[in-house]
Structures are given as structure tokens and as C-alpha cells.
Amino acid sequence: MSHVKLQDVTKRFGKVIAVNRLNIEIPRGECFSMLGPSGCGKTTTLRMIAGFEDLDEGEITVGEKLFSSSFKKYYLPPEKRDFGMVFQAFAVWPHLTVFNNVAFPLQIRKLSKAEVAERTLRAITYTGLAGSEKTYPNELSGGQKQRIALARAIAINPTVMLLDEPLSNLDPKLREEMRFEIKDLQRKFGFTIIYVTHDQSEAMALSDRILVMSDGRVQQIDTPLNIYQRPANQFVFGFIGLSNFLPVELEDGAVWIEGMKSAGPVNTPLPPLAKGRRMTLATRPSEIDFVHAGGVRGIVKRLTYLGDIIDYRVLIGDVMVRVQKNRKREIFRQGEPCGLIFNKVLWYEREP
């Protein structure tokens, strides 16, 4: 049963349709990420769920409670939605101690001092800030400041936590640590997470399901594994993970890189589509192997060491192909001729 439901949600800014008839159902306790490039509508969607923006069309419900509806001309202000919220900016008050930062939303709800103290100390402990209750934010690191924001959101006992790129201001190592901490907090408290990010690795690591958006529209909603292995379209394939898109022609019972017959045929079965269609071959850099003889012939133009991985750029005619292999494998040198074997491909039809 869905906990958060968006039905035909639409938002316009002038003539621009930022979110176009969005339909989402999120079960209780799920970590649901909205992923896409800048300007795709993901933050606008989160702001409508939070109540910071009202929708132009559609309806938003949480549980049995109506939050926004263009059909019923109803809008519940954000302060009455009782969501936990964490934003990209740390959003902590520098003149308040850690304890008072976390306690503030409880105090304005006029809870008893005993309950405020109990909830505040519990949230501080679960977010790894125990011992820092009397410390001021300017004495803390960026990661600790973001923990204050998390603790403040947790303290109100939310059923839904909204996170808008909360880790983007942290360094890569700390960002990775905080991903796991957020997931652990979700398991401890059982809240639903709606998480906005443009970082695909963040979304893949955290999410039970991911919504991929582009131009205000849903491209795919699925598990991280399915989105990576079975992308719904070429946009999703290109946005999630590394990719190569090669224009190909189907002729003489074989697949050739367009205009590069001299390089040899691609070692893959013909796509199950009518002859004569203009196709794009899509493949991951990790799904390509090097061979000395045979394969599609090219020249190694560049190689870069990325830890245990070597990132190659291979030129086939005037088409550049990206290949990634473990550095323990045989290394092809810059300027060396090579052949490429395409082990796994997907097909997309090009416009005529």
C-alpha cells in the first residue's frame, strides 16, 4: 500500500512545464530517490511534496491525509506536514549549541522540557554527536554540521524524511560514509525517505527504487539493478553508469560501425528489427574486451590509470570508444593497434 502518492502532479513556471503529470506511489519505509540532470524537475517535485511550492494540477496524499489537491482546491502549509527535512546547505543556527539546534523544532511545538530533552539526546546519540551537546556549529566539521541537520529532522519523529542533495557539500570519503549512516538511521526509525540527487552512485547505494527524470517527465521507476541492467530508453542508459553509443549500419548479415567497414564487423547478432533501420549500439566500457587479432580494429589514443582500473580511449575511424579494464590484465599502449570485442549490447533506433 502506498504511503506517499502523487497523482498527475504538474507544475508550471510561466510557459515552462517543470513537472509534467507525475505519478508516483511510494510504500512506507522505502528509500525512494529522484535522479536526473539539473533542471529535470526533481527538486521542484520535492518542494511540492514539502509544501514549499503548490502544484498547478494533480494531488498529493500521505497515508490517508490529503496534502495538496488542484481538484479540491486544497493546500496544507509546510509547517503542518510534519516532515523531516535535510537540505544541501547545512542550515544550522551558528548562535545555538548542538543541543539547542536539534531541540528547536520540538520547542516550538511546545512539548514538555522532559520530552524535548529525551528526544533531542536520542537523536544526537543516533547521529554520532554524543558529547557535542554544548558545542557550537563553527567548532565542527562539515560532516558534523550535516549530522546536526539529520538529528534535528529525526527528533520530530517524522514518518517521511525529505532530503535534497544533503551530501553534495561534503568531501567524497565523508559523503560515502554518510550514505551508510542515513540508511542505518532509516532502518532504526522506519521512516520513508524521498531523496533528491544528481549523483547516480549516491542513488544506487541508498535506494530501494529510483525515479529517473528528464524534462519534468518520468523516464523510468525501478530498482537500481534493473535501471542499470535494463534501462527503459537511451536516456536512462546514458545517464546511469558509463556508456558508449555507436552509430551502426546493418548490411550483408552483419553489424558495422557506420562508415567504418574497413575496421571489420561488430561481433554481435543482428538486432531483432527490420532491415534498413538506422540503429545505435549501446554498450558499457566494462563490457568490451581487447584482442590482438580480429575484433573491430582501432588504435589506442589515450589511457588513464584510475586505481585498479585503466580507462582507455580507442579510435575506430573517427569514432571514439571508451573501454575500462582491470590493470592486472594485459595493458595496451598509447598508439598501439588493437581489436575490440563487444560482449553485451543494447539497441536503440535512430531517427530516420
Q: What is the mean pLDDT of residues 1-17?
A: 92
Question: In what helix (H) or strand (E) does residue 8 lie, and over which residues does it extend?
Answer: strand 2-13
51 vs 278 pLDDT, higher one: 51
Helices and strands (H, E) in the chain, number of each type: 8, 20
The alpha-helical segments, DSSP class H, found in the chain are 42-50, 98-107, 113-126, 142-155, 172-189, 200-206, 224-229, 234-239
**Quick one: pLDDT band at residue 55, thresholds 50, 70, 90?**
very high
71 pLDDT higher than 80: yes
Q: What is the pLDDT of residue 128?
A: 87
46 pLDDT higher than 60: yes
CB atoms within 10 A of CB 59: 18
216 pLDDT higher than 90: yes
Domains and CATH numbers, the chain: 2-239 (3.40.50.300), 244-349 (2.40.50.140)
> Is the CB of residue 313 less than 8 Å from the CB of residue 322?
yes
Q: What is the pLDDT of residue 221?
A: 98
- Residue 288 amino acid letter: I
Q: pLDDT tens digits for 12-30? A: 999 999 999 999 999 999 9
Q: What is the pLDDT of residue 271?
A: 79
CA distance 211 to 201: 14
CA distance 6 to 26: 9
Q: pLDDT tens digits for 330-352? A: 789 999 999 999 999 999 988 76
Name every residue whose Cβ is closer than 8 Å to that of residue 30 and which is 6 or more positions away in sequence.
3, 192, 193, 208, 209
Q: What is the pLDDT of residue 1?
A: 59
Q: pLDDT tens digits for 235-292? A: 999 999 999 999 998 887 889 999 899 999 999 887 776 556 678 999 999 999 999 9
Q: What is the pLDDT of residue 275?
A: 59
Q: What are phi and psi of 325, to 5 degrees?
A: -135, 155
0.75 exceeded by pTM: yes
Q: What is the pLDDT of residue 312?
A: 97
Q: What is the mean pLDDT of residues 305-331?
A: 92
Beta-sheet pairing, 84-86 with 160-164: parallel
Tell me which residue has cell 481538484.
71
4 vs 349 pLDDT, higher one: 4
Phi-psi group of 316: left, alpha or beta (phi > 0 → left; psi -120 to 50 → alpha; rest → beta)? beta
Q: What is the mean pLDDT of residues 289-310?
A: 94
Q: pLDDT tens digits for 79-115? A: 899 899 888 777 788 999 999 999 998 998 889 999 9
Q: What is the pLDDT of residue 331?
A: 82
Q: pLDDT tens digits for 112-171? A: 999 999 999 999 998 889 999 999 999 998 888 888 988 999 898 899 999 998 888 778
Q: What is the pLDDT of residue 45?
A: 97
2 pLDDT higher than 80: no
CA distance 293 to 152: 62
Q: What is the pLDDT of residue 273?
A: 63
